[in-house]
């Protein structure tokens, strides 16, 4: 089986599963970390098959990179919050200020993700790669 045949056989199913998970995440709170991993997997898999699809795939890869960056920022907020919680007493004013800032930043990033997903990425006919 050629790489092109393999891509056409597997990638549409992978993309459909990815879009299904993204729609679920965009519609309600869920695991952003898990979806970040799914985004990485799809992006890197598509990069392997770039020669089969040509330059038309470059825009989609760029969009996946933007989603990955957005989800990474959400993850960074959560990780930083955990580090602060481990180092500072719960009632420390600096901890409270930092956690408030991180919570607001994570909320903004989640909203940005949802807007980008709904308005840019998840448009009719965009979930297939075949």
pLDDT of the chain, 130 residues: tens digit per residue:
788 887 888 888 888 899 888 888 876 656 788 899 999 999 999 998 888 887 878 988 999 999 999 999 999 999 999 999 999 999 999 999 999 999 999 999 999 998 998 888 887 766 545 4
What's the domain range around 108?
A: 3-7+17-121
**What b/e readout covers 94-130, taking b as 16+ CB neighbours within 10 angstroms?**
ebeebbeebeebbeebbeebbebbeeebeeeeebebe
In a domain, 84, yes or no: yes
Give me the number of domains the chain comprises: 1
Residue 90 lies in a domain: yes
């Amino acid at each position: 089986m050629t790489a092109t045949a393999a891509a056409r056989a597997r990638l549409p199913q992978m993309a459909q599963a990815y879009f299904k998970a993204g729609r679920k995440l965009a519609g309600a709170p869920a695991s952003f970390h898990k979806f970040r991993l799914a985004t990485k997997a799809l992006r890197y898999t598509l990069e392997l098959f770039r020669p089969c699809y040509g330059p038309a795939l470059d825009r989609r890869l760029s969009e996946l990179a933007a989603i990955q960056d957005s989800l990474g920022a959400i993850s960074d907020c959560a990780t930083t919050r955990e580090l602060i919680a481990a180092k500072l007493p719960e009632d420390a004013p600096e901890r409270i200020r930092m956690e408030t800032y991180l919570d607001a930043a994570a909320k903004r990033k989640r909203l940005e993700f949802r807007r980008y997903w709904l308005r840019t990425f998840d448009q009719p006919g965009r979930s297939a790669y075949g």
